[in-house]
Structure 1
Amino acid sequence: MKARIEAALELAGLGKNGLQVSYLAEGAWHEAYLISTTETGPLVARFPKLFSYGKPFVYNERELKAEYGGRGLYYRLANGVSEGICPPYYTYYISPELSFTIETYSGPVMSLAAADEAEAARWGAQCGRFFRHMDRTSVELEGFGFLDWKDGNLAGDHQQDFRVYWVEDTEGYLESWERLERAGYGSEAAGVKRMLDEIVPFRLRRTPGLSLTNRDVSPENLIICETEVRLIDPVPVIYDGLAFAGNVLNNFNTLFPSFHRSPRYERHRFDRYQPLLRAFADGFLEGYAQGDPEMLYALRVEQFLMLLDLTCDHIGLLEHEMTEETVLRYGDQAAVEERIPAYITGLEQFRLS
């Protein structure tokens, strides 16, 4: 590995004298190494894993340019909104022989074991305020959705009219309660339908905006530097920012603490830190809404829809044979079955204000 890192430093135009290397962490798709030389401060080098979710790495220049270039764009925009919230130095290189990213080391990831609820709420509020500012920052890219690499530039992977898509997506939720009913949750589906009868017209009246938001906010990629929160390793999406703010709320309230039987998340045992995760979500909601009751309502609408999507996704998983990748992401059939009643209860008990 040291030879690969030396090659990466040379390709990045960085010195390698006095190179020190230590293994840092492993994510879903990359391995990360903490490195330093006599010419640089601490840096993080990431390389694609040979296998991810049971599948071998296959070099795809277009996908890597979209991913690595998109991360760099997000870092630049984020640091313009809140200086230092993301690594100030970032570079990447892509080739069939060697692909990597190198960025400033921001510090150790969030430690829930060393935190209390008040701290978690403060961190969440910082993230919420940042998200709100980021969602008001324009991004000059064509299309919307996940980032793609087209004709030498980043662009959204959807090129249709966003407003038309938004209407179709919103009206599509009216069919979700029917899926619950078909799966045997008849009385619960009726409650979901009543909620959707209120939510859908509201969402259609709301004017969505496009910004470069982040689909992947988790304790795995939040850094606590003294009392300040830092963000690393985002998954940028050109979409309505409120929708993915709702995703943060659903993930910290529901998904993370319920996925302790997923091989992807089991080592974190987020179920043991549910009060802290909920405190973070409460802080995030407060930091984003900033006392605006209509904004608070809109965020809760998006959180409810993310929970509904999560529930329907789990029901769908049981309708087909589960692949190795699915099991690694979600856990086995028993784990999936175990979550659904709790999600249904969450939908039944959900309050928009």
Structure 2
Amino acid sequence: MINPLKLQEAIRHAEVETPVFLGEGAWHHAWKVRKDGSDWVLRIPKEIAYGQPVPFDEAALKAEYGGTQLYYAAVNQAVKGAAPMHYSFYVTEELTYTRESFVGTAIDLAELKHEAAFQVGQNIGEIYRKTEKIPHGLSGYGFLAWSKEDGLRGSIEGDAQQGLKEESEEQLADYGTLCRDFPEFRSEAVEKAIHWAAELRQQRFTIPLLTNQDASPENILMNGTQVCLIDPYPILYYPRGMAGNFMNLYETYFVSLAATERYRKHRFDVHEAKMKAIAEGFLTGYSDGIPEIVREVRGEQVLQVLESAFSHLQLLEGELSKEAEIRFGTKEDIAGRLQLFLKELERLAAINQQI
């Protein structure tokens, strides 16, 4: 738990009162507080995360918090009320916190009905689609970075189309490595699907847009019937890629990690049908009935599953850190998950032959 003196200093500096502990994520503790007669959320970064001390990093914190501020503003411009309307942050080595308006409670998968899960996903898909249309005004692409000289920007400079092409070439090489180390990954249908997805993204990509890499269930809140997204991981990227990432997370990845220390409390395996309903709804809302978008998202989903498999292969090659064990389990768990990813690649390859 956080040092009580640090909490009191943050409360004083943020000019809030009556803190009630909400819980903790991977990197922050959160309190519900009051300010000017309204409910807010105060977040303070952890000093220890995944079993390791977290050193102060001004640039990283301002990139994270500045990116969140930018993303919230874009979301609210696209769909008013779909993110906290007010957000600010303070970053020094002595005291760091964020303050945002309270927008609801996290979805409860145990209480969520199948139809409601589909609707939640559809709303998120619409939020993603509409937010992509909001100009972000930043240079560069990729994950966000911050410096005193340039402020907030994409962390990668240069030609984004060339960067995406190089990324696709790396993914094709990753598949070759997987097939070398695990021959059962070699499949004509899967290889064809990977090449098709890589070619399709080169045809469709134009400019990097602002999108979100993290819309996990704990970051989806409900305010009445309004879906609200919090704690995003903004990125300037090919937007279909992050839509494909969402599909991978909800159809495959989260359920596969259900037994890990990081995700055990969510019981994603028990709620697998609802997770897939959220994914189905997301694709409906994101594609807006346009078959070409469905194909593009499914293609990116193939590449996301491929990268999930390759990252697991890399974890098997060295000693697991404490963070890796918390997030991914033992090497036996990781090896077993590789087989699940193989089956998912085969499933998606079959789907892509039909759309």
Task: Quickly name the TM-score band, shorter chain normalised.
Answer: over 0.9
Instruction: Deviation per CA, 1:55-102: give whole Å up to 9, x if none.
Output: 102111111111111111111111111111111111111111110001
Deviation for aligned residue 1:196:
2.3
Residue 70 (1) aligns with residue 67 (2): yes
Residue 322 (1) aligns with residue 320 (2): yes
Distance 1:2 1:152, change over 3 A: farther
User: Do 2:129 and 2:286's aligned partners in 1 also have CA atoms closer than 8 Å?
Assistant: yes
User: Do 1:211 and 1:238's aligned partners in 2 also have CA atoms closer than 8 Å?
Assistant: yes
- 1:148-167 matches, cutoff 5 A: 148-150=145-147, 151-167=149-165
User: Do 1:261 and 1:335's aligned partners in 2 also have CA atoms closer than 8 Å?
Assistant: no
Q: Structure 2 CA distance, aligned partners of 1:252 and 1:187?
A: 22
Q: Structure 1 CA distance, aligned partners of 2:135 and 2:250?
A: 27
User: Do 1:262 and 1:330's aligned partners in 2 also have CA atoms closer than 8 Å?
Assistant: yes
| Runs of at least 5 residues in structure 1 that lack an aligned partner in the other structure | none
Match of 2:140 in 1: 143
Q: Structure 1 CA distance, aligned partners of 2:89 and 2:49?
A: 20
Amino acid at match of 1:71: T
Match of 1:7 in 2: 9
Match of 2:207 in 1: 209
Deviation for aligned residue 1:279:
0.3
2:245 aligned to which of 225, 244, 247:
247
- 1:72-221 matches, cutoff 5 A: 72-150=69-147, 151-186=149-184, 188-221=186-219
RMSD, aligned CA: 1.6
Q: Secondary structure at the match of 1:35?
A: strand
Q: Structure 1 CA distance, aligned partners of 2:66 and 2:185?
A: 47
Q: Secondary structure at the match of 1:320?
A: coil
Q: Structure 1 CA distance, aligned partners of 2:185 and 2:142?
A: 35
Match of 2:38 in 1: 41
Deviation for aligned residue 1:2:
5.9
Q: Secondary structure at the match of 2:186?
A: helix
Q: Secondary structure at the match of 1:23?
A: strand
Deviation for aligned residue 1:5:
4.1
Deviation for aligned residue 1:41:
1.2
Deviation for aligned residue 1:137:
1.7
Instruction: Deviation per CA, 1:7-48: give whole Å up to 9, x if none.
Output: 324433x3x5xx3222101111111111125x3311111111
Deviation for aligned residue 1:187:
5.9
User: Do 1:53 and 1:325's aligned partners in 2 also have CA atoms closer than 8 Å?
Assistant: yes
Q: Structure 2 CA distance, aligned partners of 1:5 and 1:317?
A: 37
Deviation for aligned residue 1:221:
0.4
What TM-score, normalized by structure 2, do the two folds share?
0.94
- 1:268-287 matches, cutoff 5 A: 268-287=266-285
Between the aligned residues of both structures, percent identity stands at 33
Q: Structure 2 CA distance, aligned partners of 1:194 and 1:245?
A: 21
User: Do 1:22 and 1:35's aligned partners in 2 also have CA atoms closer than 8 Å?
Assistant: yes
Deviation for aligned residue 1:197:
3.2
4+ runs deviating over 4 angstroms: none
Q: Secondary structure at the match of 1:272?
A: coil
User: Do 1:138 and 1:210's aligned partners in 2 also have CA atoms closer than 8 Å?
Assistant: no
User: Do 1:21 and 1:34's aligned partners in 2 also have CA atoms closer than 8 Å?
Assistant: yes
Instruction: Deviation per CA, 1:122-178: give whole Å up to 9, x if none.
Output: 010111011111112221111011111121510111012111101111233322331
Residue 51 (1) aligns with residue 48 (2): yes
What TM-score, normalized by structure 1, do the two folds share?
0.94
Q: Secondary structure at the match of 1:233?
A: coil
Q: Structure 1 CA distance, aligned partners of 2:253 and 2:264?
A: 12
Q: Secondary structure at the match of 2:155?
A: strand
User: Do 2:197 and 2:296's aligned partners in 1 also have CA atoms closer than 8 Å?
Assistant: no
Deviation for aligned residue 1:203:
2.2
